[in-house]
Amino acid sequence: MATKIKMGGNKIVGLSTDVVDDGDAVSFGNVENVSSGKVNKTGGDYMSGDLTIGMGTDTTRQMGCENLGPGESFRINLGDSSNNMEHTSEMPIILSASNGSVIKFANNNVVNFFSDSIELGTRLELLGTDPIGDSDVCKKEYVDSINLLREAKCYIGYIPYLSSNENKNGIMLSDSGHIVDHDPYKAFNPLDNSHSWIPNSPNDCWIKVQLSESIKIWKFVIRGIVQNEGFFNWELRGSNDDMTWTTIHTETAYTVDDRILHSFTLDVSSSFRYYTLYCYTSTYTIEGNVGLKIFQIYTHNVR
């Protein structure tokens, strides 16, 4: 019957509850019974069953809202009050778990969240600017720049004026052997040639400085005792245990004579407690012409 039925405000009663086709008229009670297992579109009902979304031939399914206006958001909350993942389109993702959470990438743990710590399974790269607060995390380049400022070069020699091979500040001097009255400390007491260190052999000789603590040096200076004669093939070494030595500077054909104060700038990243100047071979006419009138090392001011 392709026409309209006007009821004039009256009810239709006695409808069958046995609905067969989509176009069958149904009673209010029938609709209520069918809807009781559904989720209310506008209310706060909860699903009691599983939500399964078929993939078909696609690889992605999207759940959300389109055309969100100002102040509007879409929220997904998976889990319960103690273990949940919440995402609101206007806010960051929120993870809550009573026993910790983990972010994985390619099945590897990238970040582990615990109640008292965060563990990183990868390198942390900071993209922000320099730190502001005392507890801010900062970049390595920032720390390096501060260290450069703190390690300002000191132009005053580290070794004080010495009157013996052992200083009250913990500085001790030794050598491979020396002639009478020309002890190692006299290389740090530069008055004249009578105050100089002269080894008892001009070849395979050394003078060693032992400090009270490890320091990093940026320069050292030396001066021989006569012109055109002195150490020829030599090197400066550093150590922290007086057994294992690191070569800091090497010269294979450089005469350390009395013409000038010989200064050498270094690029050293390590600190040492022991410094030794070792001479393999010297150039000389007589053995007593080889030695040091001046030996000094320079470190940094720590601010």
pLDDT at 221: 97
Inside any domain, residue 48: no
Dihedral sign for Cα 282, 283, 287, 289, please.
Answer: negative
182 plus 280 within the same structural domain:
yes
Q: Going residue by residue through the chain, which has 303 residues, state the pLDDT in tens, using 9 for 90 and above.
A: 566 677 666 777 766 666 777 667 766 666 666 666 565 656 666 667 777 777 777 767 777 677 777 777 777 777 777 777 776 766 666 667 777 778 777 778 878 877 788 887 777 666 666 676 766 777 777 666 665 556 688 999 999 988 899 987 899 999 999 999 999 999 998 665 568 999 999 999 999 999 999 999 999 999 999 999 999 999 999 999 999 999 999 999 999 999 999 999 999 989 999 999 999 999 999 989 999 999 999 998 765
122 plus 242 within the same structural domain:
no
pLDDT at 110: 78
Distances (CA, A) of 123 to 16, 63, 111, 140: 70, 33, 11, 12
Domain coverage including residue 132:
82-148
210 plus 117 within the same structural domain:
no
Domain count, the chain: 2
217 plus 255 within the same structural domain:
yes
Domain end, chosen from 97, 116, 148, is at 148
The backbone torsions φ and ψ at residue 98, rounded to the nearest 5 degrees and listed phi first, read -70, -25
Inside any domain, residue 131: yes
Inside any domain, residue 41: no
CATH of the domain at 225: 2.60.120.260
Tokens found for residue 187: 């290389």
pLDDT at 254: 97
Inter-residue contact 238 to 272 (CB < 8 Å): yes
